[in-house]
Structures are given as C-alpha cells and as structure tokens.
Amino acid sequence: MHKGQQGGKMTGRKSSKKAVMALGVTAGLLVGMVGHAGAASVSTIAGAFHERGDVDGTGSQVRFEYVQGMVSAPDGTIYVADTGNDLIRKVTVSGGSATVVTVAGVNHHARWRDGVGTAARFNNPEGLAISSDGKTLYIADSRNNRIRKMDLATNAVSTVAGRAFPGSNDGVGTGAGFYAPKSVAVSPDGKTLYVSDSGNNMIRKIDLATGTVSTVAGKGALASGSDDGVGSAASFREPRGLAITPDGSILYVADTRNNLIRKIVVATNAVSTLAGHPGFPGTDDGAGSSAYFNQPVTLALNGSTLYVGDSSNASIRAIDLTSNAVTTVAGGVKSTGGIPISGKEDGDVSDARFQYTGAIVYTNGVLYIADTPAETIRMLKL
C-alpha cells in the first residue's frame, strides 16, 4: 500500500521529503547552549544515514523506515514504531551501540490484523506507551484508526479500541471512533490510556478496564484552534506527542500545527498554553509565549524538565516547568544566512545536527532520538 501524506499530516514514507523541505524554509535557531557545551554529547547508535530498509542487527547494520514512536520499558529496553515499515521493533542498548530485533508486524504489509508477532499487521504505527509493570505495550495504529496493545511476554497483538474508518464518537472498544491517532500515554496507575486523536483535533482517553473511550478536550476535526479552556471549550490543531507526570495529575501535549506546548489538568480537563506562540513558527528561546517552536511533535518528561522534539527546527528543546523557560539543548545549528543546517554530525551538542527530531524518549540520564528521515537512532547523553 502506498503511504504518503494524509490530510496534510506527516505520515508514512514520503513524509521525510516534506520534513527535509521544511528545514530549508525555517528560520535559524539561536542556540542557547552555553550551559550544556562540553557536558552533553550526541552519538548514533543504530541505522545508517539515509539508508532505508527493515534489517535487524547491531549499530550501522540496522535499517529503519521513518520511525515516529519510541518508549522505554522499566528495564531500559527501547521499543520503536518503525512507521514506514509497519513494524514494532525492540532496541537493546549496550555502550555506544544498539541491537535491533523486530517483534511484531511484517515489512510494508500495511493492513490490520491481530495476532502474535509477525502474524500481526499494522498501518503506520506511531506513538507508543508502556505499562508501569513493563508487561504491555500500547500502540497508536494511526492509519488503521485504532489503538492496539501487545503483550510483551508473548508478542500477542490485540485491538483495544477503534475501527477501520475514521470517526470521533465516544463508545466502548470497536464502537468508538478515532481519526489518525498519533500518540498515547498511560496513567501511572495503569488504569487510563490517553490518546492524541490528531485528525479530530482532540485528546481522548480509554478506561483500560472497560475499553470505554471518552473525550477529554478539543472541538473536533472541523474546529481546529488554539483556545484555552475546559474540555470542549479548548481547541487544538493536530495534537501529537503526549507526556504525563509521575503523579498522573498533568498531561502535556505537543500541539503540533499550532506550534505550542499545552497542558491539561487531568482532574478538571482544563487546558492551558505552557509555551510557544500560536500559529507562528520560530526558533527563539524564552519563557512561555516568548518562545517559538516549529512543529513540535514529541515530548519526554524528566522531573521538572520537559524535552521537546522540535521537528522542523531539527532540534531538541527543554522547558523548565518551574519557570516555563525554553532553551535549546542540541541541534538547530544555523548558517550565516540564518537557516538551520540539517545534518548527521555526532559530537558535542554545539556541533551535533539532526534532520528531523521525530520521536524522543528519556531514560537514565539519556535522551534517545529518532532522527526520522535520517533513518537513525541517536543518543544524547545529558
């Protein structure tokens, strides 16, 4: 099945062209790295620059195709959604390299089927989340408009909610509708799965005990916007990445097409804007609305720091949640003309470059980054 753009979203193999083109028209990134230089570095641990495929192996032997989802298990194992290949893969990091094994799906067999391992089928799997006990992997199966789960002991894949055709109705299991869900986050108590229902411009949740799907916030596919408010009074524009606090009280949202980072108070469904300037892409660091992003797509939380994959700025940003101050951690090095320089360079954060920071996950002092169109997994030691 051919995979290209769907409704203006970045999905599938041809999206890398759009990502790379975006870099050519993006304003330059002013890199605020003085406090980071020498203390943090970037290295490539799997894949080879611009070499696509579905090869398992170690380090540069590995091939990916447009990875757009990553999550870390409690034991440090990384799982990735190899979106263009319709695969779920397991990444084991040792030293400065990683070994990659495919655990579910079949390369380029884009369809829907429950089953064990290679008997299962996906269609553009994207966001991933994992239960706190490390036993269950949740998958936003984007172009199937479904939420799936995988038992990590057996690699058995089943469907939690959603159906083949797009929809926005609440309901139970396959009676509920989604439209291109992009990301998932599981509550710390394991009872609730949050979903960025990107095509519907909504945030949804699933009661994992009953399969009941309900809407947390947002106005629907035809009502995009950047309004703060409670529940359906708030609006989004293609929300993607999610991150939830360890106490489960706050859900952070990468509101991608609004170039904003939003937060939702879980107890009340109140939505507010944490950082960014609505509708305007940019590169500036600063506090709150003084900061600018360019299509932030992925989030990772570590204590009072929220990391952002600022995709079209080819950079990693950090938000200090005590002050809402945004700084640039790595990437986004600009040319004399003010245009970000995309690249593949490893090294100190002042020198490292990315193509498009499409998925990130934090674990044990390290930020792992899917450099999506570069077809590599990078490691940022903080």
Given a cut of 70, is residue 17 above it in pLDDT?
no
At 8, is the pLDDT very low, low, confident or very high (cuts 50, 70, 90)?
A: very low
What's the average model confidence in pLDDT over 11-26?
37
Look at phi and psi of residue 86 and say left if phi exceeds 0, alpha if psi is from -120 to 50, else beta.
left
Measured between alpha carbons, how far is 283 from 299 in angstroms, rounded to an integer?
Answer: 17
Tens digit of each residue's pLDDT (9 = 90 or more) over 39-61 = 699 999 999 999 999 999 999 99
What's the average model confidence in pLDDT over 341-355?
91
Tens digit of each residue's pLDDT (9 = 90 or more) over 166-190 = 999 999 999 999 999 999 999 999 9
Quote the pLDDT of residue 9. Answer: 38
Quote the pLDDT of residue 34. Answer: 34
Given a cut of 50, is residue 320 above it in pLDDT?
yes
Residue with token string 């992003």: 293
At 280, is the pLDDT very low, low, confident or very high (cuts 50, 70, 90)?
A: confident
What's the average model confidence in pLDDT over 295-308?
98
Better-predicted residue by pLDDT, 29 or 172:
172
Tens digit of each residue's pLDDT (9 = 90 or more) over 251-260 = 999 999 999 9
Least confident span in 64-78, 128-142, 329-343, 363-377: 329-343
Given a cut of 70, is residue 6 above it in pLDDT?
no
Residue 314 makes CB contacts below 8 A (sequence gap 6+) with 23, 26, 29, 331, 332, 340, 342, 353, 354, 355, 356, 357
Which of 258, 309, 332, 326 shows the shortest CA–CA distance to 26? 332
What's the average model confidence in pLDDT over 315-329?
96
Given a cut of 90, is residue 380 above it in pLDDT?
yes
Tens digit of each residue's pLDDT (9 = 90 or more) over 110-137 = 889 999 999 999 999 999 999 999 999 9
Given a cut of 80, is residue 265 above it in pLDDT?
yes
Q: Identify the burial level of 141 via C-beta atoms within 10 angstroms of its C-beta, where 0-12 means exposed, 13-18 middle and 19 or more buried.
A: buried
Residue 222 in tokens = 């035809």
Residue 309, strand partner residues: 298, 316
